[in-house]
Amino acid sequence: MDRISELKNFIESRQRCHLIGIGGVSMSPLAKVLHMGGVPVTGSDITESDAVRDLRAQGIPVSIGHRSENVLGAAYIIRTAAARDDNPEVEYARDNGIPIFERAEAWGVLMRRYKNALCISGTHGKTTTTSMCTHILMAADADPTVMIGGTLALLHAGYRVGHGDTIVLESCEYYNSFLSFSPTIAVILDIEADHLDFFKDLEDVKKSFRAFANLVPVPEGVVIANIDDENTMDAIDGIRRRVVTFGFSPRADIRARNLTMAGGVSEFDVVYKMKTYCHVRLSIPGLHNVKNALAAAAAAIELGIPGEAVARGLEAFHGAARRFEYKGQVNGAKVYDDYAHHPGELHALLDAVHDITDGRVLLAFQPHTYSRTKALFNEFAEQLKRADKVYLAEIYAARETNTIGISSADLAAAIPGSTFCPTLPELADRLKQEARPGDTVLTVGAGNIYTICDKLVEKS
C-alpha cells in the first residue's frame, strides 16, 4: 500500500492522529477539519498561542513542548514541515513504528474528495488571491471548503468546511509541500528565488513549480499562469497541460481593460475571449492586487462562476489579515500592518503605499530567517531605502539558529539614515516619537512585529 492510500485509510477509519506543530497556520485548520470529521486528534506545539487556545476550546488536547510521551496512543503522526527528523516526537514515532505523514499529504488526501481542487501557488500573493477566490465562491453560493494561510474577516478564521464540490487551498512551495496536492486547477501567480534554505537556486524553485503544474489531470484540469512573469512562463514552457494565462499583456487570455486607480480603489473590466466578463471595483491598493484579482477571476471562469458573482465577491473583499491591514492611528499617522517578508513583496507594498499617500512613509521591518536575510541582503536593502524612515527589528529566527552570524544591524549599516532597534519595545517607542499627522506607518514582516502595531494603536 502506498503512503497516500495508507493515510486515507487512517483518516477514513477515524484512528487517533497526533499533529506536531498543531498551532501553525496550516496545521490548526487541518486539525479542525479532521476533528469535525470525527477523527480523534491530539497535538503539540512549541509555544502557547491564540490558535492553540482555540483548538483546546474545541476539545482538541494540545501539549506545549515536544516530548515523546505526547505521541502515546496515536495510530499515526502528521507533522508540520518545521518538525525535522530530530524532533523527539518524530524520533519516538519512527522508533516505535508509528507512521509519519506530512501536513501537505493530509491536505492532499482531503482534497481528493472534491470535484474541484483549486490550488493557489506563487512566491507572492497566495493568501490574498486565495481570499479573493473564497469571496467569489461564497458570493456564488458554492459552499466551498477553504484553507488560507491567514485570517479572512468573511470567515472569522483561516479556514472553512463547506458541503459544496470545491475546495480552495493556499499552496506553498516550501519543502515541495504542494507536490503532495491533487489540484484540478493550479494557479501560479509568480516565481522568485525564495526559501533558499531548501531550494538550491531560482532554477530549483522553477523546477518545483513545473512539477506542481504537472499534477493537474489531463484533459480536464488547467494551469492558470501569470503571463507577465518570465519565471512562471519559463517554468511551464512545453508542459502537456491546458494553460490559461492572466495579466496585463494583450496576449493574456484574461486581462484588465479600462483600468483606473484612485484613492486606493481600482476599477477595471475583466476581459475574456475579447468580451467583458465583469466589471470589478477593488478596494485594496496596488497593481499587484489587480493582478491577483485577475487570477481569481480566471479561476472563477474555469469553475463556471458567472461574472456577476465575481464582481460582488471582489467588491466585498477588503483584504486579508496582515495584508496591508489598516490598524488605526498614532499621533495622527495612519498605521498599517503587512506580512511582506521578501524583497518582491516589499516592492509591491511600497508601490501601493506611494500610490495612495504623499506623506512620509515610516517603515518598521523585521526580517524573517537568517538564511533569507543573507541570501537576499542586497535586494532587501534596495527596497527598504525607498521608505522615508526605516527602523529595523532584529531578525526573526522562526525555524533557524543563527549559524551565519548575521543581524539586522548589518542591514541598518547598508541603509543610510536607518535605525536598528534591538528590541520590539524600543522600536515601538521610536515610532511613537517620530510619527506625525500625514505619515503612513508600516509594521512589516512575517514574525511577531505585528504586536508593535497593536501597541501603537492602543496607546494613541
Higher-confidence position of 385 and 355: 385
**What mean pLDDT do residues 70-95 have?**
94
- Mean pLDDT, the chain, rounded, equals 94
Here the cell at position 371 is 538564511
Domain count, the chain: 3
Confirm whether 179 is domain-assigned.
Answer: yes
Please indicate, yes or no, whether residues 170 and 256 belong to a single structural domain of this protein: yes
pLDDT of the residue at 197: 87
pLDDT of the residue at 175: 84
Which of 103, 129, 152 is at the close of a domain? 103
- Give the CB-side neighbour count of residue 344, counting CA atoms within 13 A: 13
The residue behind cell 495510530 is 75
pLDDT of the residue at 102: 92
What CATH number is attached to the domain comprising 85? 3.40.50.720
Please indicate, yes or no, whether residues 282 and 370 belong to a single structural domain of this protein: no
Yes or no: say if 240 and 218 are a contact pair by the CB < 8 Å rule: yes
Please indicate, yes or no, whether residues 260 and 133 belong to a single structural domain of this protein: yes
Please indicate, yes or no, whether residues 354 and 226 belong to a single structural domain of this protein: no
pLDDT of the residue at 355: 86
Confirm whether 23 is domain-assigned.
Answer: yes
Please indicate, yes or no, whether residues 141 and 193 belong to a single structural domain of this protein: yes
Using alpha carbons only, what angle is made at residue 161 by residues 129 and 185, rounded to the nearest 5 degrees?
Answer: 40
Which of 103, 129, 155 is at the close of a domain? 103
pLDDT of the residue at 160: 87
pLDDT of the residue at 150: 77
Confirm whether 272 is domain-assigned.
Answer: yes
Q: Is residue 79 pLDDT above 70, yes or no?
A: yes
Q: Kindly report which listed range (24-38, 102-116, 179-193) carries the lowest average pLDDT score.
A: 24-38
For 123-155, what is each residue's pLDDT tens digit? 999 999 999 999 999 999 999 999 997 788 898
pLDDT of the residue at 458: 66
Q: Is residue 268 pLDDT above 70, yes or no?
A: yes
pLDDT tier, 1 (very low <50, low <70, confident <90, very high otherwise) = low
Q: Which residues contact 230 (CB under 8 A, 6 or more apart)?
A: none
What CATH number is attached to the domain comprising 394? 3.90.190.20
Please indicate, yes or no, whether residues 341 and 310 belong to a single structural domain of this protein: no
pLDDT of the residue at 459: 54
For 180-230, what is each residue's pLDDT tens digit? 999 999 999 999 999 888 899 999 999 999 999 999 999 999 999 999 999
Spatial separation of the C-alpha atoms in residues 66 and 50, rounded to whole Å: 18
Q: Kindly report which listed range (15-19, 71-75, 321-325, 389-393) carries the lowest average pLDDT score.
A: 321-325
Instruction: Give me the amino acid identity at 173.
Output: E
**What mean pLDDT do residues 109-120 have?**
93
Q: Is residue 460 pLDDT above 60, yes or no?
A: no
> Considering the entire predicted model, what is its pTM?
0.83
Instruction: Give me the amino acid identity at 47.
Output: T
Higher-confidence position of 321 and 447: 447
Domain span at 136: 114-315
Q: Which residues pair with 106 in a beta bridge?
A: none
Cis peptide before 250 (omega within 30 of 0): no
> In terms of Cα–Cα distance, which of 22, 236, 11 is closest to 111?
11
Higher-confidence position of 157 and 184: 184
